[in-house]
Amino acid sequence: MLLYSLLGDFMQEYDVIVVGSSVAGLRAAEQLAKKGLNVLCLDKKQEIGVPKQCGEGISLNHLRRLHIKPQRCWAVQKIKGAALYAPNGKKVEIDFGKTMGFVIERKVFEKYLAKKASKAGATIKVRSNVTSVKRIKGGVEVRVSDLFSETYKAKMVFACDGPQSSIANMLGLSIKIKPEDLDSGIQYEMTNIEFEQPELIHLWFGNNVAPRGYVWLFPKGKDHANVGVGIGAHIKGSAKAYLDKWIEKRSGIKKGSIVEVNSGVIPVGGLLEKMTSDNLIVVGDAAHQVNPIHGGGMGLAMESADIGASVAAKAFEENDFSNKVLDEYNRIWWEKYGKRLMRILQIRYMVESLNDKDFNAIAESFTGEEIMLLQSGELAKSKKLIVKKLIKKPRLVKVMLRYLTSSNANK
Ligand SMILES: Cc1cc2nc3c(=O)[nH]c(=O)nc-3n(C[C@H](O)[C@H](O)[C@H](O)COP(=O)(O)OP(=O)(O)OC[C@H]3O[C@@H](n4cnc5c(N)ncnc54)[C@H](O)[C@@H]3O)c2cc1C
Domain at 57-104+179-267, CATH class: alpha beta
Please provide the distance, in angstroms rounded to a whole number, between the alpha carbons at the two ends of the chain.
Answer: 50
pLDDT at 2 over 80: no
| Burial readout 54-86 (b: 16 or more C-beta within 10 A, e: otherwise) | bbbbbebebbeebebebeeebbbbbbbbbbbbb
H/E segment holding residue 39:
strand 39-42
Which atom of ligand 1 is least distant from the CA of 267? 19
CB 19 near ligand 1, within 6 Å: yes
Strand, helix or coil at 318? helix
Q: Is the CB of 226 under 6 A from ligand 1?
A: no
Q: How far apart are CA 129 and CA 149, in angstroms?
A: 8
Distance, CA of 147 to CA of 42 (rounded, Å): 12
Confidence band of 411 (pLDDT split at 50, 70, 90): low
Q: Is the pLDDT of residue 408 over 90?
A: no
Do residues 135 and 155 make contact, with C-beta atoms less than 8 angstroms apart? Answer: no
Residue 386 neighbours by CB under 8 Å, 6+ apart: 374, 397, 400, 401, 404
218 backbone dihedrals φ, ψ, rounded to 5°: -105, 105
CA separation (Å) from 34 to 39, 111, 118, 194, 319? 10, 18, 10, 45, 18
* Cα–Cα distance measured from residue 26 to residue 68, given in angstroms and rounded to the nearest whole number: 13
* Ligand 1 pocket member 55 (CB < 6 A): yes
Q: Per-domain residue ranges for the chain?
A: 2-52+110-177+270-321, 57-104+179-267, 345-410
Residue 1 burial (CB count, 10 A): 5
pLDDT bin (cut points 50, 70, 90) of residue 86 is very high
* 177 touches ligand 1 (CB under 6 Å): no
> Residue 202 and residue 84: Cα distance in Å, rounded?
6
CA of 401 to the centre of ligand 1 (A): 33
Cα separation of 271 and 408, whole Å?
12
**220 alpha carbon – ligand 1 mean position (Å):** 20
The predicted-structure confidence for 245-266, as pLDDT tens digits, reads as follows 999 999 999 999 999 999 999 9
Mean pLDDT of 130-134: 97
Q: What is the pLDDT of residues 152-199, one digit of tens each?
A: 999 999 999 999 999 999 999 999 999 899 999 999 999 999 999 999
Residue 404 banded pLDDT, cuts 50, 70, 90: confident
pLDDT higher than threshold 80 for residue 224: yes
- The 10 Å CB-count burial string (b at 16+, else e) for 216-230 is bbbbbeeebbbbbbb
Ligand 1 atom index nearest CA of 23: 25
Distance of CA 264 to the CA centre of its chain: 11
Name the residue type at position 243.
Answer: L
- Pocket flag, ligand 1, residue 53 (CB < 6 Å): yes
Give, in degrees to the nearest 5, the angle at Cα 21 between 181 and 306: 75
8 Å CB contact between 3 and 10: no
Q: What is the mean pLDDT of the chain?
A: 93
In terms of pTM, does the model score above 0.85? yes
Using the predicted structure, report yes or no on whether residue 148 has a pLDDT greater than 80.
no
Contacting residues for 113 by C-beta, under 8 A, at least 6 apart:
23, 26, 27, 30
Instruction: Identify the pLDDT of residue 268.
Output: 93
* Ligand 1 and 302: CB distance under 6 A: no
Task: Supply the pLDDT for residue 60.
Answer: 97
Tell me which H or E stretch contains 241.
helix 239-248
The answer to whether 329 and 307 are in contact (CB under 8 A) is yes
Task: Return the residue whose CA atom lies nearest to atom 41 of ligand 1.
Answer: 130
CA of 267 to the centre of ligand 1 (A): 10
Which residues are 84's β-sheet partners?
Answer: 92, 203
Of the listed ranges 111-120, 173-182, 220-229, the one predicted with least confidence: 173-182
Q: Is the pLDDT of residue 8 over 60?
A: no
Cβ atoms within 10 Å, residue 205: 21
C-alpha distances (whole Å) from 277 to each of 66, 104, 159, 318 are: 26, 34, 11, 16
Q: Does the CB atom of residue 107 touch ligand 1 within 6 A?
A: no
| 3-state SS, residue 156 | strand
Does ligand 1 have an atom closer than 6 angstroms to the CB of 34? no
Residue 277 or 406, more confident? 277
Query: Mean pLDDT across the stretch 323-348?
Result: 95
For domain 2-52+110-177+270-321, give the fold: FAD/NAD(P)-binding domain (3.50.50)
Phi-psi region at 61: left, alpha or beta (left = phi > 0; alpha = psi -120 to 50): alpha
